[in-house]
Chain A
Amino acid sequence: MAQMTMIQAITDAMRVELKNDENVLVFGEDVGQNGGVFRATEGLQDEFGEDRVFDTPLAESGIGGLAIGLAMEGFRPVPEIQFFGFVYEVMDSINGQMARLRYRSGGHYNAPITVRAPFGGGVHTPELHADSLEGLIAQQPGMKVVIPSTPYEAKGLLISAIRDNDPVVFLEHMKLYRSFRGEVPEEDYTVELGKADVKREGTDVTLLAYGAMVHSSLKAAEELEKDGISAEVIDLRTVSPVDYDTILESVKKTNRVVFVQEAQRQAGIAGQVISEVQERAILHLEAPILRVTAPDTVYAFSDAEEVWLPDHKDIVERVNEVINF
């Protein structure tokens, strides 16, 4: 076991897969000699050569097209979109094309593509860097969307994503890149896609969260504990498809749910998940399912992030509403 930051775990996952499978290709803007704007691909070009890890022209749509075309020749592309706010430039390649390849060809072709991209607030980035846009991809049949919250899971989930024979968008929260270290095995291992993880067991309320909000939820759970409220924290890990089995098991135990996301209230995946949970477990609910989200404005100017982004205090407040309903 080594102690790694999430970004080191991500680099390690790509190194493992570049070594395991000669069809794996890593490419994007500045991912080659520069090692990526966050050093996520540091050292990979030196180790595996320019044929496997390479820079592209500055054109996100073109990068998406390259990935699809390379998949037609049997490669396993791992393209990077420098910041997920730039996904709008490549929306057609992702939602309009790779998501549909298997279906539109009646299974003749598939797209084993993993699109990596950083996102997430709290680090004072300029405009359109931090926006949470996972909800846009989660709505597209044919895609999978994975959002890790710890170094261990980042590595295991990324290896699974790369090995998956269908397209995956793998979103990396910038605030979690280097904020803490965790134990990460050096060998190769996988964390199954589409499976949630109970990060903290509890009996009074279920907190459903993903990305940086997992850590805010854990912090909220500690504070709630002081007031005698036992919160169970579930990290969704894959936001499409969602693991309802794990959620429902928890809901049947706690009978109360708060959904926590960094995205705006009208965005993210809260609406869809809450709708499914109430359809499947209405008789187990003692209170309505409430949401902790950002307000429905454009992502905050960086100096306003502190007042705009949801945090553990918002979570504690909502949990109290649910408990006292």
Chain B
Amino acid sequence: MKQVLENIENQFEMFQVLDENGKVVNKDDLPDLSDDELKELMRRMVYTRILDQRSIALNRQGRLGFYAPTAGQEASQLGSQFALEQDDFILPGYRDVPQLIWQGLPLYQAFLFSKGHFHGNQYPDEVRALSPQIIIGAQYVQTAGVALGLKKRGKKNVAITYTGDGGTSQGDFYEGINNAGAFKAPAIFVVQNNRFAISVPVEKQTNAKTLAQKAVAAGIEGIQVDGMDVLAVYAATKMARDRAVAGEGPTLIETLTYRFGPHTMSGDDPTRYRTEDMDKEWEQKDPLVRFRKYLEGKKLWTEEDENKVIDEAKEDIKKAIKQAEQQPKQKVTDLIDNMYEELPTHLQEQKEIYQAKESK
């Protein structure tokens, strides 16, 4: 019996392209990206790091609401998004706002989502995505459905979804990958393993040595990737996408990553369950540091480039938060209007009552 487990685990060795010093350790899988694309990837990662820092500050000032920090996960979130086409469909979890932004969701709308305003979820048509899913696992079963829909329509697109390490314990996680497998649907399932589900370490979620091997239960391909290595995440997602649009079915990608911040800004204190040593160990693996070194080695990135992105990000964020704050306040009648195509009688009655209140 033991032999079976070991044999399986050996199939899921971590896939890496860049090491911690920004050195290419796997030339064969170095993705084919132009200099401009490489710089754009770096730009997005730096921008997103600043967005995280500013979001935390704005949350502390009470200018943002619900916020799940992203620092540390830039390679995992943006490397995978970078491999998508505009018409691919994203089903994000609650920590996956950056992917939406780089797919085209205006920043002020992302802020409105945080503040709890419906306009934050009224996506532009070109952003094919659902708003961040709060029910952990639900995005997985829905992704199987979107992917089956894409397949039935004959589109050369994929549905991609994200969950965390804790989310792999949900029934919907398994049902989602199993359904996509049974229908050979073009889906990419990403598990961002940042080692903690709030305070619970991944070792308490499962006895499985990797999360990628959970793909075996669905009979689909699985791969474990260095989630702090943006080129590895990009390459893995690109391979999964190519397989999916070629009709070869879904892939499960586990990215080994880390969140430098708390679980959310709603009172979580990571010092209760994480050691300083652990934080330090992962800071050595910071995806920005290693990719910066790689680009500097190729003479594609300078301090000046970096500062330009930082200024640009801060400026955009300032404008976006202002725009979010200028959004008209929600009225109960707005909420009622969004319930059904045609309002049933009881809601028509309630709408009249609130209309009278609102006109006072």
Contact = CB atoms under 8 A, between A and B. Distances in A.
Interface of A: 51, 56-57, 59, 61-62, 64-75, 92-93, 96-97, 102-110, 141-142, 144, 164-166, 194, 241-245
Given A72-B145, A166-B341, A62 B179 contact: yes
B135 interface: yes
A59 B144 CA distance: 13
Interface string B312-347: 000000000000000000000001011111001111
Given A62-B176, A69-B144, A110-B341, 13 more contacts: A65-B140, A66-B148, A69-B147, A72-B145, A74-B153, A97-B135, A102-B338, A102-B340, A103-B338, A106-B121, A108-B121, A109-B130, A194-B344
A59 B130 contact: no
B345 A194 contact: yes
Nearest to A141: B339
Given A51-B152, A65-B140, A241-B346, A56 B130 contact: no
A109 B89 CA distance: 13
B146 interface: yes
A65 B187 CA distance: 14
A75 B78 CA distance: 30
A96 B172 CA distance: 13
A62 B338 contact: no
A68 B145 contact: yes
Interface string B116-160: 001101110000001100010010111111111110110000010
B182 interface: yes
Interface centre among A108, A141, A166, A242, by most chain B C-beta atoms within 10 angstroms, is A108
A242 B147 CA distance: 36
B175 interface: yes
Contacts of B143: 65, 69
B138 A97 contact: yes
Contacts of A165: 341
Contacts of B150: 73
13 contacts: A62-B176, A64-B141, A65-B141, A68-B142, A69-B141, A69-B143, A69-B145, A69-B146, A74-B153, A102-B338, A104-B121, A142-B339, A241-B347
Contacts of B135: 92, 96-97
A252 B172 CA distance: 50
A243 B345 CA distance: 8
Given A51-B152, A72-B130, A59 B119 contact: no
B172 A61 contact: yes
A108 B122 contact: yes
Given A69-B142, A69-B147, A72-B130, A59 B339 contact: no
Contacts of B89: 72
Given A72-B149, A105-B121, A106-B122, A65 B172 contact: yes
Given A65-B141, A66-B144, A93-B141, A106 B338 contact: yes
A68 B89 CA distance: 13
Interface centre among B143, B337, B340, by most chain A C-beta atoms within 10 angstroms, is B340
B297 interface: no
B339 A69 contact: no
A57 B122 CA distance: 33
B340 A66 contact: no
A52 to B, nearest CB: 9
Nearest to B155: A73
Contacts of B152: 51, 70, 73, 75
Given A65-B145, A69-B149, A105 B345 contact: no
B213 interface: no
Contacts of A93: 138, 141
B247 interface: no
B178 interface: yes
Nearest to B157: A73
B184 to A, nearest CB: 13
A95 to B, nearest CB: 11
B245 to A, nearest CB: 15
B149 A73 contact: yes
Contact of A74 (B118, B138, B149, B179): B149
B335 A103 contact: yes
Interface centre among A66, A92, A194, by most chain B C-beta atoms within 10 angstroms, is A66
Closest CB pairs A-B (n = 9): A69-B145, A65-B141, A73-B149, A62-B175, A241-B344, A106-B122, A69-B146, A66-B145, A106-B118
A102 B145 contact: no
Contacts of A51: 152
A57 B178 contact: yes
A279 to B, nearest CB: 12
A106 B113 CA distance: 11
Given A65-B175, A72-B149, A73-B149, A103 B159 contact: no
B118 A97 contact: no
A69 B160 CA distance: 12
A322 B346 CA distance: 28
A209 to B, nearest CB: 20
Contacts of B144: 62, 65-66, 69
